[in-house]
C-alpha cells in the first residue's frame, strides 16, 4: 500500500493509461480524482474503482479550460485535504482524434490548436493549479506523459511538438519544485496497446507494450522508492527509437 492516505489527480482517466493508473493507485490505498472530458466514461471509471473497494471520484474536466482545472484541484482539496500526486495523461493525436487525415499543412488551424492545448497546455494548467498546494505541504509529485514522438519527431507536427514540450515542462517543474520537496518526471512510451491498431507498430522487442508495463513505471516514480528521482524523462519503448523502425 505505497500510497495509503495520499491523494492523486489523474487526467485522461476515463480510458487508456489514465484509467489504469487511477485503478492501480487506488488499489494501493490512494484516493483518486479521475478527470476526463467524457463525463459518462469518467463517472463509470470512478464507480468501477469504488466497486472494488477503492476511493475515487470522477470529475468532468476539459483540460483546455483553466476554470475546470482549478475546480478539479479544489474538489481534491475539499475531499482529501491535499494533492500528493498529479498524473497528466490527457492527450491524443489531433489528426486521429478529430478524424483529420489530410497532410499537416492542409489541416484547419483549429485542429492544430486542439492538439497543442490538450497535449501541452492542459498539463501546464494542472501544474499551475497543483504547485501551490504541493509547495504548502512541502511534498508532491507531478508525472507528465510524453511520447517517443517528442524525442524522434512525428508527421503530426503539433503532437510531436507538444510531447517534446512535456519534457521541458517536466524539467522546469522539477527545478521550480525542488526547494519545496516537489518532484517531477516525464514518462515517454513507445507503442502501447491502448488501441488494437497499436499492435501494428512493432518495437525491437517485437511487440507493443501492455498499458500495465507503462503504469508500473509511473507508479514507481510516484512512490517514495523514487524519492531522489526528479527532472528526468524516462523512455519506455522496447528500443523503438534505437536506429529507427
Based on the residue annotation, tell me whether 159 is a catalytic residue of this protein.
yes
**pLDDT one-digit tens code per residue, 39-55:** 999 999 999 999 999 99
| Residue ranges covered by each domain of the chain | 7-236
Q: Could you say which architecture CATH assigns to the domain 7-236? A: 3-Layer(aba) Sandwich (3.40)
Task: Name residues whose C-beta falls within 8 Å of residue 90's C-beta, 6 or more positions apart in sequence.
Answer: 11, 12, 18, 35, 36, 37, 63, 118, 119, 122, 123
Within 13 Å, how many C-alpha atoms sit on residue 97's CB side?
A: 16
Indicate which residue of 80, 125, 159, 234 is catalytic.
159
Angstrom distance (rounded) from CA 64 to CA 94:
14
Ranges under pLDDT 70 in the chain: 243-245
Q: Which residue has the cell 474536466?
A: 61
Task: Name residues whose C-beta falls within 8 Å of residue 93's C-beta, 6 or more positions apart in sequence.
Answer: 115, 156, 159
Q: Can you give the pLDDT at residue 224?
A: 97
pTM over 0.75: yes
CA angle in degrees (0–180, nearest 5) for 91-131-223: 75
Taking the alpha carbons at both ends of the chain, their separation in whole angstroms is: 39
**pLDDT one-digit tens code per residue, 156-174:** 999 999 999 999 999 999 9
Amino acid at each position: 500500500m505505497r500510497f495509503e492516505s495520499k491523494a492523486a489527480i489523474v487526467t485522461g482517466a476515463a480510458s487508456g493509461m489514465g484509467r489504469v493508473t487511477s485503478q492501480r493507485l487506488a488499489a494501493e490505498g490512494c484516493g483518486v480524482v479521475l478527470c476526463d472530458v467524457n463525463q459518462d466514461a469518467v463517472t463509470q471509471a470512478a464507480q468501477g474503482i469504488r466497486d472494488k473497494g477503492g476511493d475515487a471520484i470522477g470529475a468532468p474536466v476539459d483540460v483546455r479550460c483553466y476554470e475546470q482545472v482549478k475546480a478539479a484541484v479544489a474538489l481534491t482539496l475539499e475531499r482529501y485535504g491535499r494533492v500528493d500526486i498529479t498524473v497528466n495523461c490527457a492527450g491524443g493525436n489531433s489528426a486521429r482524434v478529430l478524424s483529420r487525415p489530410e497532410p499537416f499543412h492542409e489541416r484547419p488551424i483549429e485542429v492544430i490548436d486542439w492538439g497543442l492545448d490538450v497535449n501541452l497546455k492542459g498539463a501546464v494548467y494542472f501544474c499551475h493549479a497543483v504547485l501551490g498546494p504541493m509547495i504548502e505541504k512541502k511534498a508532491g509529485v507531478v508525472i507528465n506523459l510524453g511520447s517517443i514522438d517528442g524525442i524522434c519527431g512525428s508527421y503530426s507536427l503539433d503532437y510531436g511538438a507538444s510531447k517534446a514540450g512535456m519534457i521541458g515542462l517536466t524539467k522546469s517543474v522539477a527545478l521550480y519544485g525542488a526547494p519545496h520537496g516537489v518532484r517531477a518526471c516525464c514518462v515517454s512510451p513507445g507503442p502501447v496497446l491502448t488501441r488494437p491498431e497499436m499492435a501494428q507498430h512493432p518495437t525491437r522487442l517485437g511487440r507493443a507494450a501492455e498499458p500495465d508495463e507503462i503504469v508500473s513505471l509511473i507508479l514507481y516514480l510516484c512512490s517514495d522508492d523514487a524519492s531522489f528521482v526528479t527532472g528526468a524523462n524516462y523512455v519506455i519503448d522496447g528500443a523503438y527509437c534505437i536506429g529507427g523502425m
